[in-house]
Amino acid sequence: MSSTKVRAREPEGVTSDGSRVRGGFALLAAVQMTLIFTLASLAVPLPRIGTEFRLDRAQLILLSAAYGLTFAGLLLFGGRLADRFGGRRTLTAGLLVFGTASALAPLAPGYEALLAARFGQGVGAALVAPAAMAVLRSLFPGPAAYGRAMATWGGLSVLGATAGNLLSGVIAGVTSWRGTFAVPVAVTLTALLLAPRLLPGTPPGQNRSLDLPGALLATAGITLASFGLVLTDAHPWGSAPVLGPLLAGLVLLAAFGAVERRTADPLLPPDFLRDGRRVLGLAAIGLTAAGTATVFVLLSLSFQQQRSWDELRTSAAFVPFAVALLGSGRLAGPLIGRYGPGRATAAGLGTAAAGLGLLAATGSDTSVPYAYGLLPGLLLLPAGGALSFAGAAVLATDGVPAHRAGLAGGVLNTAMELGPTVLFAALLTLGGDAVSLAASAVAFAALAAVTTIRTK
């Protein structure tokens, strides 16, 4: 595939049976969307869970972050397992863990059991996400077909997050928060049933070590640093609850870098991140995920706490967001094929920056009507975000060989998981919804400019 263009023609799959290829892609897409759906599914009903279990703020924060902590922390190791043992085998193992934890979560009698289930979901997701990309690489072995598949794949995560925020509010409003776990359970069972029929087997890697020292350091470092950042919502930056895990995580990540330079078969080969276009793609993925998550969190709280909207009305307010996301997602592939992933990513970032700017100007003012105060920003942000995600996914995976497909999936999903954690922690220090959204808009605009310059 050209590094600047993705040609538009029918994809070459592993089989001449086009329906099987399309079915396999649809199955993987549903799984990927469900992983991100699950990440966002407790955002709206979290206050109700806190009331039922009588949780304090720190417990709510940990419950909200538990899934993402293990998901992000184990992704690099999950990628290595997929490359070592084969994508479909690792995918199946991850689905079993993810599905079991998802089935146990709604049965939780209290906080500790629900927290353990959320951690378990994250472990399973960390195996599934990179394995799904490894299988995707086998499903579309041709470079051009794989590029087009990644252009679509890039928008799935934003769509999954949007579905999580929308449907969780509806389900919780109609039944209870426990009902939100029916979605991951149903998708997991469907995937386990259909995977042998629709997904190609992927051969295990030859003579690949697991790099257990690197895996332990990366997992512990990412998890501890992320946990420290999450706690900035409840504690000052200079407090022991924040500095302790944050500094410990950074030390472990520094040790991970040192170990990887001396390992014959490292978990994260240094040359993987030497491609400037790949780094830009990963940065755009992280920032887009962060901007979307920030808007959902800030506006969901504002709608419920300041405008006194219930869960159903809060979810309904984001319906136009989802419509714009779907529309932009359908246009992303052709736009990337015509103008290249670099220009598409930059255009998406710029459009999202405009949406964030509008929300910064009106989002915190409860006297501003929804229709012409918030709606324009809620249309521009997803339109730009879907295009940015799609283009960035192509940039981040361009030229990745098949034996590193799991690694690419682990790194891409790590950027997507860490982006919201890092940005949200940084924004908390600024104070105020309007300032936070304005700062996000500036960050999007700046990355759009850099991407335009570096991908010409």
Domain presence at residue 3: no
pLDDT single digits (tens) 65-82: 889 889 988 998 998 898
Find the mean pLDDT for residues 388-408. 86
Which of 445, 432, 290, 287 is closest to 361 using CA atoms? 432
Give the burial string for 250-284 (b: 16+ CB within 10 Å, else e). eebbebbeebbeeeeebbbeeeeeebebbbbbbbb
Q: Provide the residue range defining the domain that includes 239.
A: 212-266
Q: Do 260 and 268 meet the contact criterion of CB atoms below 8 Å apart?
A: yes
For residue 89, how many other CB atoms are within 10 A of its CB? Answer: 18
Domain presence at residue 331: yes
- Looking at the fold, whether 31 and 146 belong to one and the same domain comes out as yes
- Looking at the fold, whether 139 and 158 belong to one and the same domain comes out as yes
Give the CA distances from residue 77 to residues 74, 193, 248, 378, in Å, rounded to whole numbers and listed in that order: 5, 26, 20, 36
pLDDT single digits (tens) 306-349: 778 877 788 788 889 888 988 898 888 899 989 999 999 999 99
Question: Which of 220, 243, 266 corresponds to the end of one domain?
Answer: 266
- Looking at the fold, whether 249 and 319 belong to one and the same domain comes out as no
- Looking at the fold, whether 249 and 288 belong to one and the same domain comes out as no
In single-letter form, the type of residue at position 3 comes to: S
Question: Which of 266, 289, 307 corresponds to the end of one domain?
Answer: 266
Domain presence at residue 61: yes
Find the mean pLDDT for residues 282-303. 84
Which of 126, 141, 399, 391 is closest to 282 using CA atoms? 391
- Looking at the fold, whether 241 and 304 belong to one and the same domain comes out as no
Largest CA distance in the chain: 64
Rounded distance, CA 65 to CA 71, Å?
10
Positive or negative, the CA dihedral 150, 152, 158, 163 is negative
pLDDT single digits (tens) 353-383: 999 999 888 756 667 788 878 899 999 999 9
Domain presence at residue 414: yes
- Looking at the fold, whether 23 and 163 belong to one and the same domain comes out as yes
For residue 446, how many other CB atoms are within 10 A of its CB? Answer: 13
pLDDT single digits (tens) 265-278: 888 888 888 888 89
| pLDDT value of position 433 | 72
| pLDDT value of position 253 | 92
- Looking at the fold, whether 335 and 417 belong to one and the same domain comes out as yes
Q: To which residue do tokens 């009305």 refer? A: 313
- Looking at the fold, whether 188 and 327 belong to one and the same domain comes out as yes
- Looking at the fold, whether 35 and 148 belong to one and the same domain comes out as yes
Does 24 have pLDDT greater than 60? Answer: yes
- Looking at the fold, whether 139 and 86 belong to one and the same domain comes out as yes
Q: To which residue do tokens 């506006």 refer? A: 299
| pLDDT value of position 364 | 61
Give the CA distances from residue 210 to residues 48, 85, 136, 264, 298, in Å, rounded to whole numbers and listed in that order: 42, 10, 22, 11, 40
Domain presence at residue 371: yes
Domain presence at residue 233: yes
For the whole model, what pTM was predicted?
Answer: 0.81
Rounded distance, CA 392 to CA 309, Å?
35
Where are the alpha helices (H) located in 374-455, listed in sequence order? 375-397, 405-428, 433-454
Domain presence at residue 404: yes
Question: Which of 226, 243, 266 corresponds to the end of one domain?
Answer: 266
- Looking at the fold, whether 85 and 155 belong to one and the same domain comes out as yes
Which of 296, 225, 328, 291 is closest to 41 using CA atoms? 296
Q: Do 46 and 60 meet the contact criterion of CB atoms below 8 Å apart?
A: yes
Q: Do 285 and 396 meet the contact criterion of CB atoms below 8 Å apart?
A: yes
| pLDDT value of position 363 | 59
For residue 375, give the CATH number of its domain. 1.20.1250.20
Domain presence at residue 119: yes
Instruction: Using pLDDT thresholds of 50, 70 and 90, give the confidence band for residue 350.
Output: very high
Which of 293, 288, 114 is closest to 301 using CA atoms? 293
- Looking at the fold, whether 223 and 99 belong to one and the same domain comes out as no
Q: Higher-confidence residue: 86 or 350? A: 350
Q: To which residue do tokens 């491609």 refer? A: 275
Report how many domains make up the chain: 2
